[in-house]
Amino acid sequence: MNLNPVIIQRKNLRLKLWDDVRPMNDEQVKAELIYMKYGFFDESGFNLPIEPDTTPKLFHLCQAVRERLNVHEKVVFQLDNRVRVQGGCIVSGNDQYPSIIHMSSGAVNTLSEDELSVLIGHELGHLINKDGIVSFYFNLKYKKSGAPKKIAHWFNVYRLLSELEADRYAYLACGDLDTCISYEYKRIGGIDIKKFGVPANQFIEGNHKRVQMFFDRGQIGSNTHPYDAIRTEALHIFATSKNSHELSSRMYPLVYYIDKYANEII
């Protein structure tokens, strides 16, 4: 039995949201197809495909992470020319078009292979959980009118928990907390943790205090992402809990505060 409150609550909210926003007619499904078609051609046309003939080492790394996480559906990997360490995932809801995972050249230039597998794992996590599909239909239904308060709350919490869930896949992709921490260091601050000789546990200790400070202030992040400190805290809990009961009790406050303050960021 899974006792991880992030997984339970996220799944629960996804079901409720899907009930509310799922497509009711062919026009809506057609809208998704058009979005995928243009999204696919547009992204593909402006990004560098990660293929055996363009970036062989990176291609094999992407495939290795995909196999590690048991992702069998169609997905293409692409590189975009941005300096920040970042990635993205466009989830396809139909077989006609593959999903797209892209990563920045900044990520590839800055990260080690192991750290890159953290980024790829995170984006594959979004693909596994089909996060983009719910968002697509939510926006289709509520973009003009705005969502009722309760639904908007569900959607905010769902998106924030989806990031923590994707981070769990990132951890599963590399299997090493220290690598996840050095990745986070580079993603957030753009620097190598070794440069300042900071041991990972020292960073974790300070991070714990920062999380508490945010909760005391009633702040949890933007409407799409929890603060990095909260993400790092969740990652640490995933990686160091000895059993599912311990994981549940340590993770519960994070889910509680995300739910409590999600309305503040609407």
User: Looking at beta carbons only, is 76 or 248 nearer to Zn ion?
Assistant: 76
> Which residue among 65, 107, 166, 247 contacts Zn ion (CB under 5 A)?
166
| Cβ atoms < 10 Å from Cβ of 90 | 24
Stretch touching Zn ion by CB under 5 A, among 36-44, 142-150, 161-169, 232-240: 161-169
Q: Where are the alpha helices (DSSP H) in the chain?
A: 5-21, 26-46, 56-68, 105-110, 113-129, 131-142, 149-174, 177-189, 200-217, 228-240, 244-261
Question: d(Cα 38, Cα 36) in Å, to the nearest integer?
Answer: 6
Q: Which two tokens stand for residue 144?
A: 């003009």
| Least distance CB 56 / Zn ion (angstroms) | 26
Per-residue binding string, Zn ion, 113-152, x by CB under 5 A, is: ----------------------------------------
User: Looking at beta carbons only, is 100 or 166 nearer to Zn ion?
Assistant: 166
Question: d(Cα 229, Cα 149) in Å, to the nearest integer?
Answer: 27
User: Looking at beta carbons only, is 17 or 89 nearer to Zn ion?
Assistant: 89
Stretch touching Zn ion by CB under 5 A, among 45-53, 95-103, 139-147, 164-172: 164-172
Does 6 interact with Zn ion (rule: CB under 5 A)?
no
Contact assessment for residue 193 and residue 200, using Cβ atoms and an 8 Å cutoff: yes
Residues that bind Zn ion (CB under 5 A): 163, 166
